[in-house]
Structure 1
Amino acid sequence: MTFAKSADFAIDKAAGEPCANLDDAFRCGIHQQLRPKGFQGCAVYDCFGAGQKISRLAGRSWREQPGQQMFAALPVMRQLHELLWYLAEALELDQTRAIHKQLRTATDRIEQLTRTPDVTAVDLPGERVKVNELLLRTSALVRGKQSKAKERRGADLFGAKLRGADLHSANLRGAYLIAADLREADLRRADLIGADLRDARLEGADLTGALFLTQSQVNAARGDAKTKLPPAVSRPTHWAS
């Protein structure tokens, strides 16, 4: 991947070049100090298992041929694996029993696509549209009918003061919640797919049953021991105790 020196990366790195922190065992030499050393972007990133899938299919190191094909395949495979993550979550919900058959069909189709010899040929936009229709239905079934005040899809809530806010079952898909104050907020069953939670304050917030919340989103936010999270995501080690 390409790194551009910024608040998320301490160095510039061209695509295809090994990171300066990569050790001889193909591990990160500063994994435990990523944030203090200026690599917050690495601490937040999650490939959803796409990197492991590509490595397994290739059967060789990315430093050898077909390295370039592997580089091109990674972003596509990552998005396919992200879709599988959302579909798996939807299948675990009792409220979606009426569409379990469609969810399983979609899961099987995406899983088959991840085994395509040339994954870069996959019609990714088309697949995302198909899966999104099911995820929207999942969201509606779980959240139920909500007031207009809770329909905040794509809302610009950068730095918003939402401490203690009632966002139970709110639609926050794709919302910009960068540096928003969500301390003690009620985010139970809120749809958070694609929401930008970078530096959002989640201390004491309740995200029990929050829909489509990923580890990347949680890693990018700030929380504490009182933050309630869905079982599918882990409490980041950098959060306050």
Structure 2
Amino acid sequence: MAAGPDAPRGAPGRAELRADCSACVGLCCAALPFSASADFPVDKAAGQPCTHLREDYGCGIHARLREHGYRGCTVFDCFGAGQQVSQATFRGRSWRDDPGTARAVFDAFAVLRQLHELLWYLDEARSLPTSAPLDSDLRQVQEETAQLTRAGAGELRAAEPDRLRERARPLLRRASALAREQAPGPGRDLAGADLLGADLRGADLRGAELRGALLIAADLRGADLRRADVIGADLRDARIGGADLGSALFLTGPQAAAARGDAATRLPPALERPDHW
């Protein structure tokens, strides 16, 4: 999918904000920590390479991650930050070949992932026809964010992603409200609601505000979530078989991958169906 209308030069669209592991030096496998849990079988400290990371930066158990207890790996997405750090910020230099750069590489990855995720939301907001009144403001934040992603390691270290997120937050909320106003359905306000394990089978959630809602293990089979705002909603183990999220607002790949969908689940065109469904 292309970037929004009249996108700033160089601002990536959602089609470009996807991980390309073949162009990355295994950053998510080395930079990030994880703890023994339902998502990982062991503890790993930040900066410590995973024992399954190969010399070519591929994963030795990629096709069997869930079988080996690495479910968390199958729901993670860097939004393309890995290849940006590897190929652009550090111009192909690897933390493994040049250990002195490791801390800077890992720090840049952490910042860029936040910026790329914000770009995902901004691009989607600008793609909504109802966002026309906000386009100038959305474009400005998108442009500043995109410019920062092209900065050097030193500038990234001093970057403040929170400042950009704070500027974007009211714009994204307004873009959501404008889109949901046009949606048929009850438009329920469930922002931040505790819906853990809730039975929402077949629920009419068109135009609902589900921002930040706790939907862990909720049963959403057959639910209609068209134009529902799910930004920040926790969908881990939510059952979404047959649910319609085809026009859900601000749904990300990690959210979809954390849920339990099937062949009948409808996703937005910008998202790929998770392999483990």
**Structure 1 letter corresponding to 2:171:** L
**Local SS of the residue matching 2:240:** coil
**Local SS of the residue matching 1:158:** coil
- Corresponding residue of 2:45: 14
Distance in 2 between the 1:172 and 1:7 partners?
25
Structure 1 unmatched ranges of 5 or more: none
Task: Verify the 8 A CA contact 1:171 1:191 in the aligned structure 2.
Answer: yes
Distance in 2 between the 1:143 and 1:186 partners?
14
- Report whether the alignment pairs 1:186 with 2:224: yes
Deviation, 1:106, is 1.3
Structure 2 unmatched ranges of 5 or more: 1-31
1:49-82 C-alpha deviation (Å, 9 max, x unpaired): 1111111211200222311011122222111100
- Corresponding residue of 1:212: 250
If the length of structure 1 is used for normalisation, what is the TM-score? 0.95
- Corresponding residue of 1:89: 124
- Corresponding residue of 2:94: 61
**Structure 2 letter corresponding to 1:188:** R
Q: Give RMSD over aligned pairs.
A: 1.6
**Local SS of the residue matching 1:150:** coil
Distance in 2 between the 1:172 and 1:154 partners?
7
1:6-31 C-alpha deviation (Å, 9 max, x unpaired): 11011211211111111121101111
Q: List 4+ stretches of structure 1 deviating above 6 A.
A: 145-149
**Local SS of the residue matching 2:144:** helix
**Local SS of the residue matching 2:130:** helix
**Local SS of the residue matching 2:133:** helix
Note the 1:131-210 alignment, pairs <5 A.
Answer: 131-144=168-181, 150-210=188-248
**Local SS of the residue matching 2:123:** helix
Distance in 2 between the 1:62 and 1:232 partners?
32
Distance in 1 between the 2:75 and 2:83 partners?
18
- Corresponding residue of 2:74: 43
Distance in 2 between the 1:237 and 1:145 partners?
33
Deviation, 1:148, is 8.7
Aligned length in residues: 239
Distance in 1 between the 2:261 and 2:144 partners?
36
Q: 2:143 aligns with which of 82, 100, 108?
A: 108
Q: 1:79 to 1:162 in 2, by over 3 A?
A: same
Deviation, 1:115, is 2.2
Distance in 1 between the 2:224 and 2:268 partners?
13
Task: Verify the 8 A CA contact 1:54 1:70 in the aligned structure 2.
Answer: yes
Answer with 176-185 or 110-119: which moved more.
110-119
**Structure 1 letter corresponding to 2:42:** I
Distance in 2 between the 1:115 and 1:195 partners?
29
If the length of structure 2 is used for normalisation, what is the TM-score? 0.83
- Corresponding residue of 1:236: 274
Deviation, 1:145, is 8.0
